[in-house]
Structures are given as C-alpha cells and as structure tokens.
Amino acid sequence: MYYPFSWLRSTLRLALYLVAFALIGWYLDDMLVAVAIGATILLVFNYWHLYKLNRWLWHSRKMSPPTVKGMWEHIYEGIYYLQRRNRNKRKELGALVKRFREGSEALPDAAVVVDAKACIIWCNRLARLDLGLKWPQDAGRRIDNLLRHPDFIQYFHTGNFKYPIEVPSPTNPNKTFEYRIMPYGEEHLLLIARDITRVSQLEEMRKDFVANVSHELRTPLTVINGYLELFPEDQEQDPFVAKALQEMTSQTQRMQNLIEDLLVLSRIEASSERIYENVVNIPAVLSQIEREANALNKDKGHKISFHVDPDLTVFGVETELRSACSNLVFNAVNYTPPGGEISVYWEHSDNGVSFAVVDNGDGIEASHLNRLTERFYRVDKARSRKTGGSGLGLSIVKHVLSHHNSRLDIQSKVGEGSRFSFVLDRELIAEQL
C-alpha cells in the first residue's frame, strides 16, 4: 500500500526512533552514547539506500524501482514517475519526428533543411537522388559547398528568397530544377527543389513555335502586301472592289504589325545579350522617336513635348529600349483623344534615371491596370483594332524592362489621363557624354 509522503509523519518517526534510543541510554545510564549509536545506525541505513539508488540509476537494467519502505519509497517512486514521464514524452516526440519524416519522404520534391550557418540538418530521399547529397555523410556540411551552381550560390548568399530560381540539376544536366528557399523557425531554411524539366521544355517549345510561325507567316504576307500595293487606284473602279482592296490592305498591314511584334517579343524572350556591354544614347533614340511621334500625330493634333536630359546615357540593349520607349510614346499618341497634351520625360531620379510618358487622355479604369501588360490584353478591343494595335506593345515593354532589371509603373485616372513610367537603376547610368 503506497501512502503519500508526509513531513509530519516522517519527523515524528525520526523523533520516536531517537527517543527510543534515549530511553535505552537513560536506562543504561549513558544517554549520549545510546543516541549516538542510534544516529550512526540511521546514517548507515541511509548510506545503504543511497548506494542502492545509485546502483539502480546507473547499473540496473530494471525500470521498476526496488521495493523499500519509508521516505526512500517516495524518492524511488518520484524518480520512477519522472523517468516514465520522460520516456512517454520521448516516445511522443519520436513518433512526431517519424511522421514528419514519412510525410516529407512522400513529398514529390527534394527537401533539405539547413541551419543558420548554412549546414545541412536533414534531407529527404529525393534530395539524395536528385541533388546528389549523401546521407549521413553530408549532415553538418555547408549546402553551398555541395550545390555549386553559381546561380544557386548567388541566390543563397543574396538572401532574397521572394522568387524561386531555375538551375540545371547537379546530377543530370538534362534536368532543370526550380529551387525555392523558405526561412522558418530560428533562422532555419527549407530548400525545396522541384523538377520542372517538362515545364521548361514546353515553355521553350512554345517560344520556338511562336517565333517559327511568325517567321513563316512573314514571307507570304509580304508577298500579298506587295501585290496589293501593285493595284492601281482607279477612279472608275467598282466601289465594292475598291472597298475590298482597301480593307485587304489595312488587314494585311495589321497582320504584318502583329507578326513584327510577335517576332520582337520572341527575340527579347530569347535574348541573352548582356545589358552592361553597350551604352545606349537614349537622347538620340528619343529624338528619332519624337520625329516618328510627330508624323503619327499629323491628324491628331496633340501637343507633344519632350523633356530630355541630353547627357543621360545608359547601359542596355538599344533595340529593346527603343522598342519600349516608342511603344509607350506611340500608345499615348494613339489612345489620347485628338488635341490632347503628351509629355515625355527622361531625367535623373532618386534611384537612377526615369523615363515617363504623361498624357491627359481618357485614362484607364483601375480594374484593367494589372492586366495591361498581358499578351493581347486590350481595354477596348474595337478601338485598339482601329489604331492598328496588336495588344503586344505593353507586353514587349514589360519584357524589355525585366531584362533591364526594371518594371513598368502605370498610374491612370479615368477622365484625367495616364502616366506610364519606369526607372533604370543608377548602376546602369553610363558615363556622361
């Protein structure tokens, strides 16, 4: 029968024990010696139990404590209770870790956990297969010593994990992986590597297909256009034939514009030209665009003004930047109702150099703004068709700017006008002319 521990009872028991020895001592006429003998027996008894406790804790294989009585029973029971509790906790934790590992082994992606010092704590089976990690040999080794692709090393050290990166597989050069890093807990990082070989192959095929189709369509269209131009404008021509010829000419022109834009877009997408290699004289580019805009403006009557810093040149790809700037300027000319005001700016800004086209046209509803740079997205299809727009202009601008590490900013208010602008980083500013 187990009694809960009571200080009062055990103090009383000790007092009774000592009183009994004191009484014997009183009877034998030496109380002090009798009490000393009693205390020594108690000391030896307690040392004996200490010895047994030590043996049980360090040398015994038995989990259950030896059967003893008194205060020592409480001590044994207390330690036994703590041991049982720890064992259960360990079991629960073990089960949790096992479930987590089983879960992550079931992931279709390679997963690696690294600590604050970039050392690998754990990785799943796919990480061993696809990333070539060895387990347990690589535990504790730095991940950037094992995954050596320069793009990954730069991505890892920059610490900006907002977007994933695409890198060829370290074990199979025919495979492409998307690496995504997610920080969690106390400076731990979870690296997920997904096989996107098929997706990137399809993307390549799509790009090639668009480029090839556009290229193949170009020749027959040029031929048709050439023949259409050969037809003389005859006053006595049947009005139906005259209308048909005019419509055919304008539609083939539209198709040619579309194909030209598709080809430009494909070229930019496939472009591997480095932006730091050539200096682009944007003021000269803009003066040519100004002439073209004025020609386009003939029957619109806009007031177009260019505010260009004549010394501001940048590193970049000239054809691409020309295409981006001209698209923005021509859009303003095309979509601003006649007699509007259009201002074009090329000047220093806080973070670098900014290009802006501001018009006082009809403006664009906020719901369209996010989608304007999508391919073939047009606010008013009928009107765009009339202007000869392909719906690819802003898509081209977006790609050009992303190639130059910038992005298009569109501000517009219905009835007040629009502002299309972008900022090129100050690192791209070339030496003054």
Q: Which residues bind ligand ADP (CB under 6 A)?
A: 327, 331-332, 335, 359, 361, 364, 372, 378-380, 384, 389-395, 418
In the bound state with ligand ADP, the residue whose beta carbon lies nearer, of 80 and 377, is: 377
Least distance CB 341 / ligand ADP (angstroms): 12
Q: How many whole angstroms separate alpha carbon 113 and alpha carbon 120?
A: 6
Round the CA-based radius of gyration of the chain to a whole number and report it.
Answer: 41
In the bound state with ligand ADP, the residue whose beta carbon lies nearer, of 358 and 428, is: 358
Q: How many whole angstroms separate alpha carbon 25 and alpha carbon 23?
A: 5
Strand order in the sheet with 176-184: 120-123, 110-114, 188-195, 176-184, 165-168
Beta bridge partners of 346: 308, 355
Indicate the DSSP class of residue 147.
-
Indicate the DSSP class of residue 316.
S
Least distance CB 393 / ligand ADP (angstroms): 2
In the bound state with ligand ADP, the residue whose beta carbon lies nearer, of 38 and 361, is: 361
Q: How many whole angstroms separate alpha carbon 56 and alpha carbon 63?
A: 9
Q: DSSP of 98-142, one letter per residue? A: HHHHHHHHT-SSEEEEE-TTSBEEEE-HHHHHHS---TTTTTTSB
In the bound state with ligand ADP, the residue whose beta carbon lies nearer, of 38 and 389, is: 389
In which residue are the tokens 């802006």 written? 356
In the bound state with ligand ADP, the residue whose beta carbon lies nearer, of 111 and 265, is: 265
Q: DSSP of 46-65, one letter per residue? A: HHHHHHHHHHHHHT---SSP
Indicate the DSSP class of residue 355.
E
In the bound state with ligand ADP, the residue whose beta carbon lies nearer, of 123 and 258, is: 258
Residue 395: what residue type? S
In the bound state with ligand ADP, the residue whose beta carbon lies nearer, of 125 and 385, is: 385
Least distance CB 363 / ligand ADP (angstroms): 7
* Backbone angles phi and psi of 301, in degrees to 5: 70, 30
Q: How many whole angstroms separate alpha carbon 70 and alpha carbon 81?
A: 17
Provide the CB-side half-sphere exposure for 3 (13 A, CA). 10
Residue 183: closest CA among 160, 155, 151 = 160
Count of residues in the chain:
433
Indicate the DSSP class of residue 339.
T
Least distance CB 378 / ligand ADP (angstroms): 3
In the bound state with ligand ADP, the residue whose beta carbon lies nearer, of 192 and 344, is: 344
In the bound state with ligand ADP, the residue whose beta carbon lies nearer, of 322 and 378, is: 378
